[in-house]
Structure 1
Amino acid sequence: MSENTSSVHPRYHGLDKERDAATRVTVIGMILDAALGIIKCIVGALFHSQALIVDGIHSFTDVASDLVVIAVMKVSRQAPDENHPYGHQRIETIGTMVLGSILIAVGGALAWDNILRMLAGGVTEAPEWPVLAAAVVSVIGKEWIFRYTRHIGQLIRSDLIIANAWHSRTDAFSSVIVVLSTVGAMLGYIWLDALAAIIIAVIVGRIGWQFTWDSVRELVDTGLSPEDTSMLTDTAMKTEGVRNVHELRSRRMGHDILLDIHLQVRPEISVSEGHHIGMQVVEGMRKQLDNIRDINFHIDAENDEDAMPTSERLPTREEIRALLADYCDALPPQSRIRLHYLRNKVHIELMFELPFSDSAPRAADIEAALSDYAWFGSLRVWYSAPH
């Protein structure tokens, strides 16, 4: 028995608000990035700072990433539809990967250009004090937008918005490097400006690699950490009615977690009790990790990891009912049959709504007749007076 516990998750009721919040913080950041990029490139060109120019280009990559974020968030925050029953969060993952790839390319190009410039002895003039002022303004502005963007990203649980926040933080770090290198260059160590440009470019590329690698891991359905998997397994095992847990599989979709799990319960319980036990497991797991969106649980009557799974070739209910009708002349109209398919055997329970008498079907006779069948496991017969 398999169950999907949340085909429509409550989170989707707030998708419009999440999308609006993400768009608003991204537009604010984009305006700030554009202003800082223009200031840093102009000041760097006028006052001899290659590091500040690279830092300005870094700010313009923030503008490009902001445009990617706005476009992706518009699509990825749509509710599930017929073609995308799990939602559209993977589009956000692809957007994060594109953003990371852009950063790797920009960082690599800038680093290579400044390495050649440094080796060729192209650093001849020291930067001037406006470079220092522009870098300080950038540090303050980027640190503020980082904190604001990260807060919104955590609030709406968006890896893409959080990634964009950290991209802003790298711009603040790079501006700090510009401040330090400018002070050093003004004191006579002119080569520090080119070195700072290389360091900033490497930082940009490293952040891009981290974004890209995390996105690739998600797209190939990398599961939860061993620690989280063990925690969820323990939670299921502690649930009343669960005998064993196996095949706990997980994957991510954006910030959300999707789980599949097999729960072994006592074979004689009803379908509804098995479902109830599964729902208790779901509740316990969601208390451990609040970003679990869907949990598909399969109820097992036996541990199919330790033995060969029960064959689908065993007789069906109608086939067994036909056999029983032959040996009981005719099954009483109010009779009920309960079947247990365990260890490639069929264990039968017959419930007759009639008192036991000499004319009633006898368990020993039925069992003797069925014993020649290889699939037959056991038989129990119940008699009760009709209500």
Structure 2
Amino acid sequence: MARASALRRVGLLILAANLALAVAKGGVWYLTGSLAVGSEAVNSLADAVYSVVVVAGLYLTTQPPDFEHPHGHERIEPFVSLFVAVGVLGAGCLVLYQSVTTLLSGDIQVARGPAAVAVLLVAAVVKFGLYRYCLAVAETHRSPALTATAVDNRNDILTAGAALVGVVGAGFGFPVLEPLAASVVAVGILVTGVDIVRDNVNYLVGAAPPEALRAEILRRALAHPDVQGAHDVVAHYVGPEIDVSLHIEVEGEKTLYEAHAIETAVVDSIRALPEVDDVFVHVDPKELGEWKEDTEVDRLIRPRRGR
């Protein structure tokens, strides 16, 4: 339950922070007419909307396994992340449309007073704190939804900085910087959405994990003194977790009890990796000659085949 409570707590914190920022930015935009602040208000409002989905999604993903979902509900998380991406991309398109139409029309309102500067500075500080916190929890609990949220908060720091440049520049007599800064904000939002989609598609299509992790899986299998080689090694994402299957070769004279003990030891060793969920090991008697060349195994690690 530590993971469940941690993810839910972060989700509620993000929702509260984004709501507060959306209200603050919206109020300043209403008072000053700053397009850059207005675009940031739209961004924070979009963040608040997807935060509701993140909270609901994290609640579902942290439910315990049941009869219909024996492996738990973690595979919902990539879908939550993609919903975040859709919201982010939509907000980016809206802000870009507003800034471009303002530039083309030439009807630019300049923000007055320190309120716009203050709210953007506060937003940048808050977003930096959320970014560090979300990233730490995401790495600890391997949560793609929180990783996506952390990336969004990181980019919000940059977009708030761009908006701040626009507000300050407009105050010094360069009003065109306002819609230009809003355009930069929009591009930052769109880049965030694309990054989130790219990072989560692998979870949904069953892509292979990073090469370093695949090599570590092989090293653990071949570290057992009775394992002479490995082939047909497959590791792929199932949601945010990894399933592994492989064949290992052992001496054919081993008893069934001994072969079972070897298999169990290899499974336990690989399953000890925090990213791995399930491990399936098939034991081949070495003398039957079922071993086959596996270029992927040869590329990742030089196996001890005992040949």
Instruction: Provide TM-score, normalisation by structure 1.
Output: 0.70
Cα shift at 1:178? 1.6
Cα shift at 1:97? 1.0
> Structure 1 residue 122 and structure 2 residue 107: aligned?
yes
Distance in 1 between the 2:112 and 2:263 partners?
67
Corresponding letter in the other structure for 2:274? D
Q: Secondary structure at the match of 1:257?
A: strand
> Structure 1 residue 98 and structure 2 residue 91: aligned?
no
The match for 2:50 is: 65
Distance in 1 between the 2:27 and 2:94 partners?
20
Distance in 1 between the 2:249 and 2:112 partners?
71
Structure 1 residues 220-250: Cα deviation after superposition (integer angstroms, max 9, x where no partner):
1001123322232233223211122111111
8 Å contact kept, 2:235–2:244: yes
Richer in strand (by share): 1
1:131-280 counterparts in 2 under 5 A? 131-280=116-265
Q: Secondary structure at the match of 2:265?
A: helix
Across the aligned residues of Structure 1 and Structure 2, the Cα RMSD in angstroms comes to 2.1
Distance in 2 between the 1:45 and 1:303 partners?
77
Corresponding letter in the other structure for 2:171? M
Q: 1:306 to 1:125 in 2, by over 3 A?
A: closer
Q: Secondary structure at the match of 1:78?
A: coil
Q: How many residue pairs align between the two structures? A: 291
Q: 1:126 to 1:74 in 2, by over 3 A?
A: closer
Cα shift at 1:46? 2.1
Instruction: Provide TM-score, normalisation by structure 2.
Output: 0.87
Unpaired stretches in structure 1, ≥5 consecutive residues: 1-13, 308-387
Structure 1 residues 111-158: Cα deviation after superposition (integer angstroms, max 9, x where no partner):
133122213323253554221111111112222222233333333332
> Structure 1 residue 292 and structure 2 residue 276: aligned?
yes
Richer in helix (by share): 2
Structure 1 residues 302-335: Cα deviation after superposition (integer angstroms, max 9, x where no partner):
453539xxxxxxxxxxxxxxxxxxxxxxxxxxxx
Corresponding letter in the other structure for 2:280? N
Cα shift at 1:37? 0.8
Distance in 2 between the 1:303 and 1:49 partners?
74
Unpaired stretches in structure 2, ≥5 consecutive residues: 294-307
Distance in 2 between the 1:134 and 1:229 partners?
46
Corresponding letter in the other structure for 2:275? N
The match for 1:313 is: none
Cα shift at 1:31? 1.6
Q: Secondary structure at the match of 2:139?
A: helix
Distance in 1 between the 2:80 and 2:68 partners?
20
8 Å contact kept, 1:44–1:50: yes
Among all aligned residue pairs of Structure 1 and Structure 2, give the percentage whose two residues are the same amino acid: 25
Distance in 2 between the 1:102 and 1:198 partners?
18
8 Å contact kept, 1:256–1:291: yes
The match for 1:304 is: 290
1:284-363 counterparts in 2 under 5 A? 284-286=269-271, 289-301=273-285, 302-304=288-290, 306=292
Distance in 1 between the 2:165 and 2:145 partners?
31
Corresponding letter in the other structure for 1:292? V
Q: Secondary structure at the match of 2:199?
A: helix
Distance in 2 between the 1:34 and 1:248 partners?
47
